[in-house]
Structure 1
């Protein structure tokens, strides 16, 4: 009754206030974020698994390649090498201009400071579509026909009647050498140490033969400089001494404990380090050069590749002479180590002995290292040879005279 009275006494048009109902989501904000993050991870994983692009993530570059024989088409190759498009017969006036553009870069020799301009660019030959892939037959004085590919790089080879021993032998007056006593001097241990190598190259006359080890940062560059100064070069092959490994010639040393195939493989590594040499010589190796089973495969390779072999004379038990003779390999042997005692007095005494040997036998070969005192004394002695009736010749000439006599 009271409730009814209240309803009757309440003003018209005014209802009793009602409580508003709030909209409630079936999940929280954190749950929504977690679901979205999960979907993103699933999508990324699926893309990574099923995407077949092997170069995914690698930088891509698109370059235009113009065929000089087809001026009406312009192929566009993608960086992945998968997409090629033909863009009709569109005029491209800039392409010929770009093909003929050249740039000149100045290269500076770090050891001498000499500058060399190198031209980079396709030149007119590219505009005309001329073939430029064939290497010139002679590059830096090295005949490409006398090279063969190995797994380490290019190594010497015979081409028809051409042999490295003959092609890379330094010039000499053979007729004069046949009539008078001759001496040859071999400076070894070069290629490691640019300063001493450069001294030997520049301070000694071209008739002095230089022997390079296969080590050093760039022995090929130094050997090229030597040949540019008309020096004949030989390659020193590290061989096992009697006190190995206490006395270790260096990496890839030829060892008596290895098989013939293993030593041949190591030999190929050495042969690939530079080019343009007339023959091989031992670097240390008193035990190896005295072991017939070890030396025979090396001499066979020298024969097969048209190279001479020089025994530095440090091992009295060496069998290199017999092995070379059986295969008609040009051979020579050192008579005197000129700087075994590296003092001016002893070097001068050794040079006088070398001269006496040349007068007795008609030919004598001396060996030395590139010590400053050795270069100085040898250089001074060479200047007086003509007055004493002795002819200085490259090693190859002395080897040939020794064989003929």
Structure 2
């Protein structure tokens, strides 16, 4: 039959093509079923062999958090690997790995611990330039080593208590401290470490937004309890990976002409009044590792007034950070006697609001870290400070300094 839809003069050509295809078809070739069966059998055998001989992950392979959950221990999935961008609500691109990094041979026959390299399927997200893209948490049996970034904005239910001042931090029933639960993990590699604490977050909406947009996640942020929208800012800061502190207003020299504001802890106040004001400050946000003084030069020199404050901080499992303006060696000795985790800044960055002066202070911190192994600086959320610190931090990491949360340097 002619093909009525074929172009003029091509009906015979289609018929001939069809006959040639029929001649080349498998049915027209003797022995084809046997050949086909042999080929299929061979391919199947190779597949089975490959399956049996496939590589398997060693028992020490890192464990990657694959699901967001309020409880850190329950969110660990043994032997699973998942890209960070598959986790609901993860907008950081940070891969959190539990377990020891694999040992890699170093020169001289020794071994050197290596941080796992980021996989190409994990996006960088908002990660600071020059830093590690993997956060390694070394002890898979210890739940007190920091929250996975995916759930870092959620309070640990076991580490808070309801009170008239709001949700207050407490040690968990198994002894874990908020200082550890909300700490920013670090490489544990030693070397030259620098912590930077930027305070005054929450007081200015514009300034707070600028700080969160510009500062690398390794920078510790201190929130003022007198600020606005603190819960929202806290959640955003924790999602980005920042460690947090609460600034507590304390009596300075020259008080009340120099006034830190409402709820200030003072030298002559009753013990219970100071504790109530401290708890008010602690109840304004959650998910922080400790407190930092706001002013407080006079209070810090009064042991009788500071002792119940420090004791409360320690009993709640928090750290005390002295920003360098409130107390010195004497306060450190008092904290040690009370077994309170304590650390003081080596330098105040922005006493002079000049970029060159701030850079000089940061260079001073680098020199201190070269000698002692670590250094700490404090500053405020001024635009000039934020911009200078952000630029410096990314460059410092390329020079071999590790920027860490302040809790990692607390003793």
After TM superposition, the score normalised by the length of structure 1 is 0.62
CA distance 1:139–1:212, shift in 2 (3 Å): closer
Q: Secondary structure of the equivalent of 2:168?
A: strand
Within-5 A mapping of 1:222-261: 222-261=233-272
1:166 matched residue in structure 2 = 180
Residue 154 to residue 386, structure 1, CA distance change in 2 (3 Å) = closer
Aligned to 1:293: 304
How far, CA to CA, are the matches of 1:205 and 1:384 in structure 2? 11
1:169 deviates by 0.2
Shift of 1:140: 4.0
Partner Cα separation in structure 1 for residue 375 and residue 233 of structure 2: 27
Alignment of 1:277-316 (within 5 A): 277-316=288-327
- Cα deviation 1:47-70 (Å, max 9, x = unaligned): xxxxxxxxxxxxxxxxxxxxxxxx
| Correspondence 1:143 to 2:145 | no
2: distance between equivalents of 1:248 and 1:272? 21
The aligned counterpart of 1:361 is 372
SS of the residue corresponding to residue 310 of structure 1 reads strand
Equivalent pair of 2:153/2:236 in contact (CA under 8 Å): no
CA distance in 1, matches of 2:401, 2:329: 29
Residue 348 (structure 1) aligned with residue 362 (structure 2):
no
- Mark the runs of 5 or more structure 2 residues left unpaired by the alignment: 1-150
Check the 8 A contact 2:321/2:344 in 1, yes or no: yes
Bigger drift between 360-369 and 308-317 goes to 308-317
Q: Which residue does the alignment assign to 2:168?
A: 155
Q: Is the 8 A contact 1:234 1:279 kept in 2?
A: yes
* Aligned residue pair count: 260
Show the counterpart of 2:43.
Answer: none
What residue in structure 2 maps to residue 377 of structure 1?
388
1:333 aligns with 2:330: no
Q: Which runs of 5+ in 1 are unaligned?
A: 1-137
> What's the CA shift for 1:154?
1.5
Superposed CA offset, 1:169-225 (max 9, x none): 012111x1x2x1111000011111111112112211111000011012322221221
Contact 1:189 1:213 in 2 (8 A): yes
Q: Provide closer, same or farther for how the CA distance between residues 317 and 366 of structure 1 changes in structure 2, counting only shifts above 3 A.
A: closer
Q: Is the 8 A contact 2:160 2:168 kept in 1?
A: yes
Distance of 2:329 and 2:266 partners within structure 1: 15
Q: Write out the 4+ residue segments of structure 1 that deviate beyond 3 Å after TM superposition.
A: 315-319
Alignment of 1:35-54 (within 5 A): none
Structure 1 321/263 Cα, relative in aligned 2: closer, same or farther at 3 Å?
same
User: Using a 3 Å threshold, how does the CA distance of structure 1 residues 139 and 398 change in structure 2: closer, same or farther?
Assistant: closer
Output aligned runs, 1:67-82, within 5 Å: none
1:388 aligns with 2:399: yes
* Distance in 2 of aligned mates of 1:298 and 1:262: 11
Q: Quick check: 2:153–2:234 contact (8 Å CA) kept in 1?
A: no
Shift of residue 274, structure 1, vs aligned partner? 0.7
**Partners of 2:397 and 2:264 in 1: CA distance:** 40
**2:153 touches 2:238 (CA, 8 Å); kept in 1?**
no
Partners of 1:319 and 1:220 lie apart in 2 by 35
Contact 1:211–1:236 (8 Å) recurs in 2: yes
| Preserved CA contact (<8 Å) 1:291 1:319 | no
**C-alpha displacement at 1:319, in angstroms?**
3.5
SS in 1 for 2:398: helix
Please give the secondary structure, in 2, of the residue aligned with 1:385. Answer: helix
**How far 1:317 moved relative to its partner?**
4.7
Quick one: distance in 2 between partners of 1:144 and 1:259?
Answer: 32
* Counterparts of 2:233 and 2:398, CA distance in 1: 33
Aligned partners of 1:261, 1:377: CA distance in 2, in Å?
41
Partner of 2:279: 268
CA deviation profile, 1:85-131 (whole Å, cap 9, x unmatched): xxxxxxxxxxxxxxxxxxxxxxxxxxxxxxxxxxxxxxxxxxxxxxx
Alignment of 1:7-26 (within 5 A): none
